[in-house]
Structures are given as structure tokens and as C-alpha cells.
Amino acid sequence: MAVICPHDVVNMASTMKSNEDLDESGENHEGKHPEGNLLHFEPEVAVESMLVPTDSFESFEQEAPAGSASLQPDSNLLKCQNTEENTPDKVARDTDTNVASRSISELSLVSEECIEHQHVEEELSNSKEWRSQEKHIFILSSAGKPIYSRHGSEDKLVTLFGVMQALVSFIGDDGDTIRSIHTQGTSFLFLIKGPIILACVYKSRESVAQITVQLNYVYSQIVSVLTLEQLTRIFEQRRNYDLRRLLAGAERLIDHLLIALETQPALLLGAVQCLPLVSTTRDAITNVIVSSCNKIKKLVFAILVGGNQLVTLIRMKNFFLHPADLHLILNLVNSSESFKAAESWTPICLPKFSSDGFLHAHVSYLAEDCQACLLLLTVDPDLFFPLSEAKQKIVEKLRRASLLQSINAALAHTGTPVSQLGVPEARHFLYKCKATAQFWGPVPAPPYQTTEGAKRLLDQYRVLHHRLHAPAQPLKLLYLQDNAETMLGWVTTGFELYVAFEPLVTKANAIGAVNKIVRWIKKDDNGLFITNAPTF
Amino acid sequence: MSGADFKVVLLGTEAVGKTSLMKRYVQDRFHPRPHINTIGAAFASKSVSSRGRQFVMGIWDTAGSERYYAMSQLYYRDAKAAVVCFDLSERVTFDRAKQWIIELRNHEEDCKIYLCGTKKDVIEDGTKARAISHEKVLQFSKGIGAVYIETSSKTGESVVELFQLIADNCELPSAKGKEESVKLQLSKKSETCCSAS
């Protein structure tokens, strides 16, 4: 791994403060800065958003505490059920929960021995390979029962889980909460979420805030398969419950999510990437879905994704999808091969939307010859067949209008390299449009096309991101030069831009390149962003 | 219910081979891949002919993971037949199958139960030993009025037969127009019955 020594750190924000021509944020003084023109404009996108905008890291980090008081009152589920008057939703909901509680109580009768695992005497924590992992994630119950370990089987780590539980409860005894332990080279971070303890032991350069976000994501993934309501109830009934029984098969989702967190910028930015499509094509696809579904009541979201990118998203009026929820949906699609084989009908809880209940998702790939995945999310558990018919209609219409071909062409496209933008100084960049919670970046070119290269780049972005969003002293602009590359981060009210330059780039050239990039994005004739927020 | 004339649900513990069974029947394919959990439930339909009529069988392949148990009623509700699967080499999967049957009896009285012992090929080629004797299961299934069948999705043994049996045993859906004639026949029958007695 490349060691980066920030021997030349220049905080441009402070440089600029001294410059009277340009205010701190680079606003209002276009064309006057001697070092170059840091144009300040929003791309003409962000008119409307179907995603909840995440304008800062902090707001993203502020997860709803287990229980209540989330940003949106957890009545989202009820609200969209209530969009149709005289629906017996209350009854439906009640029976649902009754069924759930009945089965859960039965669960305790189900033979304990079937999950009984052989305790392997040899503790994994002594293994050299295990110890050398850069980052460990552990999940345990507040009673100390192992739930998950990123590396190695949690069965072989019972002692370690015991230590973690002891640490948490020891500090907790004084009415305090353990948050992190920092030693030279290794940090230990704890996140306590009701009956669940999440811990991360890491040697990477990630910040506490970033790791907290990641642990929150993992927790959300658990809530997404169980609902907060069920999770809370289980541990209320049996504090000693072995949650692995209910999470069987979901470890794969957590693994996949953690890999995404380690390798993709999307979750760092709290934004999604869209499949580049000409806007008329995208609108046509959207219209096909809307016209096929608009008679179906209680359909909350229709989401079309392909290659981990968003093709389109249609929502019920007055309801929005949080990017964190969309990431969980993408994670579900990406980690579930079984969706490719058949039409699926699955409960899914979107914690930001409503952590207390399930939405029901009709999940299917468009066609054998079009590997885009359509998700139709509803509150009505009886809607499978209407949705299945709607899906057939959508595919027929898309096929007739040759839109399947357009999607396929976009999916087959390898991505735009940065060289096409005419900014030779820049090696790579990430542009996040805050209002729409979307981002775009060129396809990685040398030296970032290798796994190690990509990892180093993402590490650099993390450092930038952390410094720019540091709670104590957030920055607007940051210019970091070291021997591997020069990094520039710029946060405005409308967007965030992170750029990796050649290490020896001059500031003037860097600023020139940034302006070119922003101008290129602004043109947006590439269909990089979804600029409207269609509803049913 | 739309989409299919006849609802069949596959139930059973995880990794007993419900998805493989459905795949073998619907697509006539088998992938000896590592087990992949089904998420929620998967739906597939297949046209079957029985007693000279063609109809569509809708098959729900449910997830065996424990967290879906609470939702399972959603999937087996109004099912005309349930294939309760267990792995012939795993005792616990049979115990769990019994519990499914109790639950079905409590909630869906009219649902016909087909007890299905899976992975017969594994028993036959000696890779694994049979966990419960054929006679015992047969006795159990007779006791509850269920049909017992042993299948192998790998070789395809008894798979088509199982679903054909389900089709043959089912009440045919009352297709419009034909409904009356069926009723007529029925009433005729009962008349002869009455006169005979």
C-alpha cells in the first residue's frame, strides 16, 4: 500500500481568504481571480429530486436513534397506505404484526439444537492472517452473543466478543457510552444501537465519522431484513437470543455492503450514480413505467437499476427515497443472484423511509436480453399479480419502442474516460450534485485502473472528504499535494467536487482544469444526472 | 387470484432444494451450484394439462430462511397444494417439515399436502446416509392424509410426476361456461347416488 505523506498541504481556503478578489466560497467574483477563474455555478440539473438531498456528511451521519425521533416520522408506511381512503390498512397491518409475533413466539419452540454450533476451541484471533486484516467489523448482541464477523467465523471468536461486550457494559455502567479507543496504528470504534453492538477495528486512514457512517449502514442492512420493530421485540422477549438464526443468508448482504463501502465512492458520498442516458430516452422509459403502473394504487416506488446505476425512479406523490435506502436496495439487487432466475416477491424494510414495517417488492430483471432490474415497491402484500402484469406491459412497451436496446447500449458502454474531457492535468474526479444526491465520475484510467490504484484513489478521496466535512472545522476548498498525486476538494452550496491531479500540477492549471470539469458537467448533454422527479 | 389458475407453494427449511425442484420442473434445468438463499419468494408459472384440460399452475418457491417464517402465510394463503420439502439426509429438515404441516393444517385446511423428500440421488450414490427410513415417513404421511414422494432435482427423478400428480388431484378451476356443466354432472351424480341408496 502506498504511504502518503502530506508534506505539502496547502489549504486554499485560507489562501483565498486573504485574496480580496474572491470570497471564501469563490462566489460572486467570477473571472476576477488572478490564479484562474473558479467559476461558481450549478449545473442546470437539480431542479427537482426524487431522492432526499444529502447536503452534508453530518446530516447523513445523523441516523435516527433506535426507536423514535427520525427525521420523518415513521408513519410513512401508514401514510402511503392511507392515500386510498377506506382501505382497511390498519387491519392489514395489525394482522401482519400478529402473524409476525405468532411466528416469532413459535420460533422459540423450534429446536434449538438445529442451530447449535460446534465450538471450535482454537481461537481465530491468534491467526496471523486474521490479525493482519486492515479492517474488522463485528456485530454482537448486548448480551455478548456473536452475530457477525467480517473476517473469519464468528463462532471462533467468542472470547473476543466477550471482551467487546465487557468493554461496552463496563463503560455503560457509569451511564457513559464507549465510542472509540485509539492506539498507535489501530483504532477501535463502537456503535451501540439498542440491543445491538457494532464494532470496527481498523488500521486504515478512515475517520471516526466515516467509520460511524459505515457501521450505521451495516445496522441499516440488518434493520432492512428484520425491521426495527421485530429486532427490538425479539430482544425484549429474549435478551439472549441468537440473532444469527434470523439473519441466516443475510450475512451475504452485509459482506457485500462492506465490500461496496470499501470499494465504491457512492456510499462515501451518500449519492447514487445514474446510468448515462439521453434525457429524452430516460423520459420515455419513465413514461412507459408511469403509464403501465398509474392505475395501481399503493405503489410507492418504481425503481429501474442496471449495473449498479440508477436508470429511473418514480415515486408516489409526497414520498421520497433516501439515498441510504436506495443503497440498500442496490445492495440487495447486486448481491442476490436469485432475482435473475425468477420473478420475486420479497419484504424489504427501508429504514429511512419507515423502520417499523416492510414494503413489498416485486423484483425482476426486464428480460433475458436486458439485464436491468425493475423493483416495484408497495405497501400492499396482495399486489403481486397486478405488479407482475404491469411489469409484462412495461417490458412489451419498452421493447416496442426499442428502449430495451437503448438501455442495453448504455449498460454496455464502458464509461467516459477523463481524457475525453480535454483536461490532461486531471486523472480522475468525482462530482456530486447535492440537491439530487447523485454523482458522476469518469471511468478510472491509469494509474487507477488496478485494484491497488483504485483503492489508493478512494483512500485519497476519503481523506479529502473527511477534511472538507470535519465537524470541528468544515472547509470549502482543500488542495493537498503529495508525491503520488495532488488532490483538490471543493464544496459549494450546490455541489461537491473531488479531483485527483498529476502530482506536479500547478495551482493555476488545477484551477483551470476544475473550471473545465464544472463547465463540462454543466452542459450535461451526456445524461449523467436525472434532473426531474417523476411521480405516479 | 390472477396470474395462474392454481396455486402451489413450496415450503421447507433452507437449503433442502425448493428452488432446484422448481427449476427442474419449470425449466428442466439443474445447477449444481453452491446454495443461494432465495430472497422472499420467487414465482413461476407453468402450463399443465390434466384430464383433458389445459391450465396454468402458479408455483411459489418460498425462502427457507427463518426470518421469512413470519411472512410465510403471505405466500401459502389460498394455496391449493403445498409441497413440503425436506432433505432425505437431514433429520432436522424433516422435523421442520412436520411443523410446516401443522401450520398449514391450522391455516389452510383445504390445501393438499405433498411431502417431498429431496436429494434422492445423494442417498442413492451413497454420498450421504438416509436420515429417516422410507417406511417411517410413509407412515407419517398416510397418517396426515398427505402424499409422499421422493425426488431428485439433479436426475429429475419423480419431479414431473410430482407436479402432474398435484395437477391431477386438484379441483379444476371453474372456467367460465364450463362451470355449469360441471355442476350439472355433479348433481346428476348425486341424484344417481340418492336413487341408489
> What percentage of chain A exceeds 70 in pLDDT?
79
Please check whether residue B102 touches A, CB under 8 A: no
Please check whether residue A414 touches B, CB under 8 A: no
Q: How far does A203 lie from chain B, in Å, by closest CA?
A: 33
Tell me, what's the pLDDT at A79?
75
Tell me, what's the pLDDT at B21?
95
> Is residue B174 very low, low, confident or very high in pLDDT (cuts 50, 70, 90)?
low
Distance, first Cα to last Cα, chain B:
39
pLDDT (tens digit, 9 = 90+) per residue, A20-70? 333 344 333 333 343 344 444 444 444 567 787 764 444 444 443 333 333
pLDDT at A245 over 80: yes
Amino acid in position A41: F
- Which among A261, A269, A259, A268 is positioned nearest to A439, based on CA atoms? A269
Q: How far does B80 lie from chain A, in Å, by closest CA?
A: 17
Which residues in chain B are contacts of A106 at CB distance < 8 A? Answer: 69, 99
Across chain B, mean pLDDT equals 85
Mutate to test the interface with A, among B62, B67, B76 (most CBs of A within 10 A): B67
> Is residue A13 very low, low, confident or very high in pLDDT (cuts 50, 70, 90)?
very low
Lowest mean pLDDT among A115-124, A218-227, B30-39: A115-124
Mean pLDDT of A232-260: 93
Please check whether residue B56 touches A, CB under 8 A: no
Contact B2 A389 (CB under 8 A): yes
Mean pLDDT of A432-454: 93
* Inter-axis angle of helices A208-226 and A323-334, nearest 10: 70
Query: Taking the CB of residue A204, how many other CB atoms lie within 10 A of it?
Result: 17
pLDDT at A341 over 50: yes
Tell me, what's the pLDDT at A337?
85
Tell me, what's the pLDDT at A525?
65
Quote the CA–CA distance of A418 and A326 in Å, as a whole number.
Answer: 27
Across chain A, mean pLDDT equals 82
Q: How far does B175 lie from chain A, in Å, by closest CA?
A: 19
Tell me, what's the pLDDT at A120?
46
* Nearest CB to B43 within list A104, A111, A345: A345
pLDDT at A83 over 80: no
Query: Taking the CB of residue A409, how many other CB atoms lie within 10 A of it?
Result: 11
Contact B70 A104 (CB under 8 A): yes
Top pLDDT among A154 and B119 is at B119
* Nearest CB to B74 within list A225, A338, A381: A381
Contact A384 B95 (CB under 8 A): no
Which residue is closest to B27 within chain A, CA to CA?
Answer: A341
Mean pLDDT of A498-518: 94
Lowest mean pLDDT among A86-100, A213-227, A428-442, A515-529: A86-100
Quote the CA–CA distance of A521 and A45 in Å, as a whole number.
Answer: 10
Burial string for A74-93 (b: 16+ CB within 10 Å, else e) reads bebbbbbbebeeeeebeeeb
The Cα-based distances of A185 to A132, A198, A531 in angstroms read 12, 20, 44
pLDDT (tens digit, 9 = 90+) per residue, B25-44? 999 999 887 888 889 999 99
Written as nine digits, the cell of A481 is: 499535494
Burial string for A316-353 (b: 16+ CB within 10 Å, else e) reads beebbbbbbbbbbbbbbbbbbebbebbbbbbbbbbbbb
Contact B42 A343 (CB under 8 A): yes
Contact B43 A388 (CB under 8 A): yes
Tell me, what's the pLDDT at B5?
85
Contact B40 A107 (CB under 8 A): no
pLDDT (tens digit, 9 = 90+) per residue, A132-171? 899 999 999 999 999 999 998 888 888 899 999 999 999 9
Lowest mean pLDDT among A39-48, A411-420, B188-197: B188-197
pLDDT at B195 over 50: no
User: Which residues, at least 6 apart from A7, have a Cβ–Cβ distance to it below 8 Å?
Assistant: A482, A483
**Residue recorded with cell 419484504:** A347
ipTM of this model?
0.84
Ramachandran assignment for A5, one of left (phi > 0), alpha (psi -120 to 50 degrees), beta (any other): beta
Residues, chain B, total? 197
- Which among B98, B58, B56 is positioned nearest to B81, based on CA atoms? B58
- pTM score of the predicted model: 0.83
- Which among A373, A410, A371 is positioned nearest to A528, based on CA atoms? A410
Please check whether residue A234 touches B, CB under 8 A: no
Q: How far does A383 lie from chain B, in Å, by closest CA?
A: 10
Amino acid in position A385: F
pLDDT at A246 over 60: yes
Residue A277's Cβ-side half-sphere holds a number of Cα atoms within 13 Å equal to 29
B81-87 and B6-11 beta bridge pairing: parallel
Mean pLDDT of B67-88: 91
Written as nine digits, the cell of A87 is: 382501505
* Nearest CB to B70 within list A100, A346, A384: A100
Lowest mean pLDDT among A78-92, A272-286, A332-346: A78-92
Lowest mean pLDDT among A297-301, A381-385, B69-73: B69-73
Amino acid in position B13: T
For A174-200, the three-class secondary structure string (H helix, E strand, C coil) is CCCCCCEEECCCCEEEEEEECCEEEEE
Please check whether residue A341 touches B, CB under 8 A: yes
Top pLDDT among A401 and A103 is at A401
Tell me, what's the pLDDT at A153?
87
Which residues in chain A are contacts of B61 at CB distance < 8 A? Answer: 342
CB B162 within 8 A of CB B83: yes
Q: How far does A233 lie from chain B, in Å, by closest CA?
A: 13
Mean pLDDT of A408-425: 90
> What percentage of chain A exceeds 90 in pLDDT?
63
Which residue is closest to A109 within chain B, CA to CA?
Answer: B99
Which residues in chain B are contacts of A247 at CB distance < 8 A? Answer: 67
> Is residue A89 very low, low, confident or very high in pLDDT (cuts 50, 70, 90)?
very low
Contact B67 A100 (CB under 8 A): no
Please check whether residue A159 touches B, CB under 8 A: no
Which residues in chain A are contacts of B92 at CB distance < 8 A? Answer: 111, 113-114
> Is residue B70 very low, low, confident or very high in pLDDT (cuts 50, 70, 90)?
confident
Please check whether residue B95 touches A, CB under 8 A: yes
CA B111 to chain centre: 10
Contact A338 B67 (CB under 8 A): no
Mutate to test the interface with A, among B6, B24, B61, B66 (most CBs of A within 10 A): B66
pLDDT at B171 over 60: yes
